């Protein structure tokens, strides 16, 4: 591809491009298998989802070319512009959008629908990259318990977090699209790469563990007492100073806060979210005909694939609609059933390879903006991969989140394409920047 500097493929990473094409093609094959029935066999039949997906893929190709055509500086310069534009689009969809399943999150153009929240991902990534490349969130590692120092140290972190949390809240609260919103958490990985304190991550991790424990144990007072005992016994290992006493006390207080907040948060979740958490954690009795149906059927489909799978188009579980949402969020069931363990491994490895390749590319960037953006792409893709496959094999709660390049749907395919190709363009340009 393009040795010529004027070619749009000049400097484009061919490995990434190849993996992208393979993934999209495999995705389409699996959508065909998931939707397949003997009556409709014409692959261009747009009344069927695989026919529609071909149109989306065509659109994605046009978008990819366009992105490569546009000057790389455009994305840097208009990073905040994109962010602002799509933030607005996500608010306006409430008034202009069509209601689908109780949430206003779709713009309709005749037969086609677009979800602006999908495009918020790359916009946020651009804005975050722009912000972080101008600032420096690496802070003095020295830990001091003075409010003035805390604010000084964490000012940039807080700003960065606002870039992330703003769309997250907007999409959860206004559009009621938990799956689309929760992806923004992935950008924490970017912050970590750019110097976010490890303590911050550990605190977040502990909070998550406590949350899960509080749900599983249910005996709140028992848990609080246990935590107190742990906190007290900490003094067996650390120096008993006034400063340490305050730190331990504060840690205990926040841990207790998490535990106490658990029930509040849980009770304020929506019913279907509650049951999804219950199903994952095995709380109470799970009725496999009702709340446990999706996950159980997904596991049955994947599990019945065996080592080599049942063969293409031979899957009985997915073909006959036992698995809900099998062409979108549960597309991996088709892979698991028809291609078996071998096929599943190939798909996961391809995805992982793409992500690791992106990290490799990001690290070779000379501009901070490109590197940060690259990490953003890798993180978002990984988050999708982990949550989507995790939920089909019962390791994650059910969250409506697509498998990149595989799941049916124009918005998600286009959004991933834009996300990826902006980075490919930035990477292709890396040699030009500092020439």
Partner 1 sequence: MSTNSQLGNRKLIIGGFFCLIVIIYLCRLFYIQVIDKQYKLDAEKNAFRYMTEYPVRGYIYDRKGKLLVFNAPSYDLMVIPRETKGCDTMGVCDVLQITKQEYLKRIKKACQAPNSPRKESIFEKQMSAQTYATLQEKLYRFKGFFVQKRTVRRYPKPIAAHLLGYVGEISKEQAEKEAYYKEGDYIGITGLERSYEDVLRGKKGTQIAITDVHNKIIGRYMDGKYDTLAIAGKPLYCSIDRDLQEYGEKLMQGKKGAVVAIEPSTGEILCLISGPSYDPNLLVGGKERSRNFTKLFYDSLNRPLTNRALQGMYPPGSIFKLIDALIAQHDGLINRNTVFPCQMGYPPMGGKPKCHAHGGGKNLPGSISVSCNSYYSYVFREIVDQRKYPKFIDGYNHWRDMVKSFGPGTHLQTDLPYDKPGNVPSVEYYNKVFGKNGWRSNTIVSLGIGQAELLLVPLQMANVVAIIANRGYYYTPHSVKGVGIDKKLDKRFTEKHYAGVQDPTAYLNVIDGMQGAMEPGGTAYASRIKDVIVCGKTGTAQNPHGQSHAVFLAFAPRDNPKIAMACIVENAGFGGVTSAPIVSLMMEKYLKGKTDRLELEKRVMAADLIRGINVLGSGQH
Q: Which residues bind partner 1 (CB under 8 A)?
A: 136, 138, 189, 192-195, 297, 299-307, 316-317, 320-322, 336, 340-341, 344-345, 348-349, 352, 355-356, 359, 363, 368, 371, 375, 382, 386, 389-390, 393-395
User: Cβ of residue 16: shortest distance to partner 1, in angstroms?
Assistant: 16
Distances 2 to 7, 10, 78 between C-alpha atoms, Å: 5, 5, 27
| Residue number with CB closer to partner 1 (83 or 322) | 322
Terminal C-alpha separation, the chain: 22
Closest among 135, 134, 127, 131 to 167, alpha carbons compared: 127
- Closer to partner 1 at the Cβ: 67 or 347? 347
Nearer to partner 1, 176 or 304 (CB): 304
- Nearest distance, CB of residue 100 and partner 1, angstroms: 22
Closest CA to 404 of 424, 420, 426: 420
Nearer to partner 1, 340 or 410 (CB): 340
Least distance CB 410 / partner 1 (angstroms): 26
Cβ at position 324, least distance to partner 1 in Å: 8
Q: How far is the CB of 403 from partner 1 (least distance, A)?
A: 12
Nearest approach in angstroms of CB 264 to partner 1 is: 30
Residue 121 vs 193, nearer CB to partner 1: 193
Nearer to partner 1, 45 or 368 (CB): 368
CB of 53 to partner 1, least distance (A): 22
Query: CA separation (Å) from 416 to 111, 119, 264, 270?
Result: 21, 9, 35, 29
The smaller minimum CB distance to partner 1, of residues 57 and 183, is found at 183
Contact of 312 with 278, CB cutoff 8 Å: no
Q: Which of 61, 288 has the CB closer to partner 1?
A: 288
Task: Pick the closer one to partner 1 by CB: 176 or 367.
Answer: 367
CB of 363 to partner 1, least distance (A): 5
We find the least distance from the C-beta atom of residue 306 to partner 1, in angstroms, to be: 6
How far is it, in rounded angstroms, from Cα 253 to Cα 245?
12
């Amino acid at each position: 591809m393009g040795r010529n500097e004027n070619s749009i493929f000049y400097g484009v990473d061919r490995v990434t491009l190849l993996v992208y094409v393979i993934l999209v093609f495999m995705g389409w094959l699996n959508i065909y298998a998931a939707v397949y029935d003997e009556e409709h066999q014409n692959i261009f039949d747009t009344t069927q989802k695989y026919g529609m997906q071909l149109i989306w893929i065509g659109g994605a190709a046009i978008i990819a070319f366009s992105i490569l055509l546009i000057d790389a500086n455009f994305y840097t310069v208009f990073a905040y512009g994109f962010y602002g534009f799509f933030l607005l689009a996500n608010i306006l969809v409430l008034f202009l959008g069509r209601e689908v399943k109780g949430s206003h999150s779709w713009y309709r153009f005749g037969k086609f629908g677009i979800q602006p929240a999908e495009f918020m991902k790359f916009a946020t990534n651009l804005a975050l990259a722009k912000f972080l490349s101008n600032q420096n969130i690496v802070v003095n590692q020295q830990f001091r318990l003075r409010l003035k120092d805390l604010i000084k140290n964490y000012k940039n972190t807080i700003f960065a977090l606002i870039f992330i949390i703003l769309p997250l809240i907007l999409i959860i609260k206004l559009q009621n699209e938990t799956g689309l919103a929760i992806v923004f958490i992935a950008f924490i990985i970017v912050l970590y790469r750019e110097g976010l304190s490890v303590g911050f991550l550990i605190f977040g991790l502990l909070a998550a563990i406590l949350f899960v424990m509080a749900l599983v144990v249910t005996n709140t007072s028992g848990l609080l007492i246990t935590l107190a005992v742990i906190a007290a016994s900490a003094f067996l290992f650390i120096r008993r100073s006034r400063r340490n006493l305050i730190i331990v006390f504060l840690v205990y207080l926040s841990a207790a806060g998490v535990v106490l907040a658990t029930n509040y948060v849980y009770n304020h979740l929506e019913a279907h979210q509650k049951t999804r958490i219950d199903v994952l954690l095995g709380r109470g009795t799970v009725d496999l005909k009702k709340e446990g149906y999706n996950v159980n059927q997904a596991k049955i489909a994947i599990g019945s694939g065996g080592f080599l799978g049942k063969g293409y188009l031979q899957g009985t579980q997915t073909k006959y609609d036992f698995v809900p949402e099998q062409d979108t969020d549960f597309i991996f069931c088709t892979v698991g059933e028809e291609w078996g363990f071998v096929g599943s491994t190939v798909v996961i490895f391809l995805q992982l390879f793409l992500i690791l390749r992106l990290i490799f590319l990001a690290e070779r960037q000379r501009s901070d903006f490109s590197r940060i953006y690259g990490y953003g792409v890798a993180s978002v893709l990984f988050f999708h991969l982990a949550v989507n496959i995790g939920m089909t094999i019962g390791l994650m709660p059910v969250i409506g989140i697509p498998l990149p390049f595989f799941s049916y749907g124009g918005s998600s395919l286009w959004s991933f394409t834009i996300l990826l190709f902006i980075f490919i363009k930035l990477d292709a340009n890396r040699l030009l920047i500092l020439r």
